[in-house]
Chain A
Amino acid sequence: MYLPMANKVVRSFHHALMLAALSVVFASNAFALPSFARQTGEACDACHVGSFGPQLTPHGMKFKIGGYTETDSKPGHIPLAAMLIETYTHTNEDLPEAPKFFSKNNNTAMQELSAFLAGKWFDNVGSFAQVTFSGVEKKTALDNVDIRYATDKLLGEGSTFGVSLNNSPGFQDPFNTLPGFRFPYTSSDFGPAPGAGVLLDDGVAGQVFGASAYTQLANGLYAEFGAYHALSEGFLKKVNLGADAQVRGLAPYWRLAYFKDMKSEAFSAGLVGMFAKVRDYAHEFEAETFTDVGIDAHYQLLGNRMNIWSVNGAYIHESGPDNVNQFNIAGSYYLNKTYGATVRYFNVSKLDDSSNGWTLQADWTPFGKESSWGAVGQSARGFAIHAV
């Protein structure tokens, strides 16, 4: 992002929408984080809606809150995994310029090849850390990093206290409602960028490193507070990330939510906020102040897991140069932990512009169930996305 980040992102998204009134992506992922499955002995469907990440079930949310450390108690699990994303993208109008190495339309690409250090390191410490090779940009870069300490011995029976070290505000959140980790979880690098526009929506993702302390109490209260600091330009260059948005000083992040898992259904509702003074690394512009405050909720109807309905939504207001309002809501249905459909609506408005649109996804996940071939060794999903 860069400073007048909100302007830039919304404008480019609007432009992309006009170009890509019809965008279709076919993708297949292979080897999606089997390290968590090997570690727990559980198939992917225990933690993921539709047997494939990253949309979490309540069980998966608790695994994340628990610091990625729960296991089947056996030693010797290696917390390494890999993921491959292949895409084919068609837009209804050609791109104005062909991306380097690609065409103006109908592009097939190995979009991502990622390696993960994902799972338990030792007692109470685990991680979800990702390095990704982009087959579009032809470079390898540091991706999401979330290293955690978590314990259930400190605050009494059924309560967890933890600390997350991460590089993307909101990515550490367990409820799949905040921009850091919500639908659409994968989109084509050639298609329209999903509705960004606020600090919490990848505004400083990858450009910062922060620590937050969090607790999930037995009574359902989830609270988190932390702060982020800019990574040095030299470090960002070493890990192949562009140095765009530099946070000045510390940027506080806070989260308050209520989470209830009733086994047959689950929900969360909460508030989130972040404050940051941001400027470009080249210091060509003055720092500007962004204050994000959001409200979010999710509901899942799980039953016996053969018909899972879910709704995730968030509204975020950003006080800043553009006073952005961002609204997202997504609803999904999964049949037999295998066949899924998701529809999402977004609306981004600011002082002098607004955009909105829909994203539709249909997917098929043949593996990742206990009865699947190689149940805890691999996973795959094929899906089609249509963005308007």
Chain B
Amino acid sequence: MSFRRDVAVHMSFGLLAGFLIVNNAHAALVGDAKAGVDVFDQECSDCHSVKPGKNKKGPSLFGVVDRKSASIADFVYSDPMRAYNVVWSVDKIEAYITNPKVAVPGGKMKYDGLGDETARANLLAFLAAQK
């Protein structure tokens, strides 16, 4: 399905607000925030919440898109994450969740990464809607 056709189909159901275009060097994907709920529940929810201020072993992911890294005051980040010092753009988040150990070597997130491109796009769309 082409990008235009995909967006058009979903606009017709009034769901555009839940979609996110993810651009990287390899592809341009449209994420489905609704499908991203399941990806979040499967991949992230053990350690992360999307409730504001709710930190688990990982920090709250409410408002994570465009948030400065290591910026939640009452969460204890690893030294490598504190040194990472980026703004969590969609691209940065995607690079991180693709392979956290490569993006932030020595970080404490125990996650091997999400290899499926579509699942990543859906997850990012879901996270972008958490604000």
A41 and B56: CB pair below 8 A? Answer: yes
Could you tell me the dominant secondary structure of chain A's interface residues?
loop
The stretch that binds A, out of B1-9, B10-18, B35-43, B89-97, is: B35-43
Alpha-carbon separation in the docked complex, A73 to B59 (Å): 10
Alpha-carbon separation in the docked complex, A74 to B59 (Å): 12
B42 and A304: CB pair below 8 A? Answer: yes
Which residues of chain B in 35-89 are interfacial with respect to chain A, using CB atoms and an 8 Å cutoff?
37-38, 41-43, 45-47, 49, 51, 54-57, 74-76
Tell me whether A248 is interfacial, beta carbon within 8 Å. no
B112 and A70: CB pair below 8 A? Answer: no
Tell me whether B26 is interfacial, beta carbon within 8 Å. no
Which of these, A41, A74, A158, A305, contacts B45 with CB under 8 Å? A305
Point out the residues of chain B lying under 8 angstroms from A263, CB to CB.
42-43
Report the interface size for chain B: residues with CB under 8 A from the other chain.
20
Point out the residues of chain A lying under 8 angstroms from B75, CB to CB.
72-73
Instruction: For chain A, give the interface size range.
Output: 20 to 34
Per-residue CB contact flags for chain A residues 63-94 toward chain B (1 = under 8 Å, else 0) read: 00000001111100000000000000000000
Residue of A nearest to B49 (CB): A370
B74 and A74: CB pair below 8 A? Answer: yes
B43 and A72: CB pair below 8 A? Answer: no
Tell me whether A24 is interfacial, beta carbon within 8 Å. no
A264 and B42: CB pair below 8 A? Answer: yes
Tell me whether A199 is interfacial, beta carbon within 8 Å. no
Asked, given contacts A74-B76, A264-B42, whether A41 binds B51 with beta carbons under 8 Å apart, the answer is no
Minimum Cβ distance to chain A for residue B120 (Å):
13
Alpha-carbon separation in the docked complex, A70 to B38 (Å): 25
Residue of A nearest to B108 (CB): A73
Minimum Cβ distance to chain B for residue A56 (Å):
12
List 10 A–B pairs whose Cβ atoms lie within 8 Å, in order of A's numbering. Answer: A40-B57, A57-B46, A72-B55, A73-B57, A158-B110, A303-B38, A303-B42, A305-B45, A306-B41, A370-B54
Known A-B contacts: A304-B42, A306-B41. Give 16 more (CB < 8 A): A41-B54, A41-B55, A41-B57, A42-B46, A46-B46, A46-B47, A46-B56, A59-B47, A72-B57, A72-B75, A157-B101, A264-B42, A303-B38, A304-B37, A304-B38, A305-B45
Q: Which residues of B contact A (CB under 8 A)?
A: 37-38, 41-43, 45-47, 49, 51, 54-57, 74-76, 101, 110, 112
A-B complex: 5 closest residue pairs judged by Cβ atoms: A73-B76, A41-B56, A304-B41, A304-B38, A59-B46
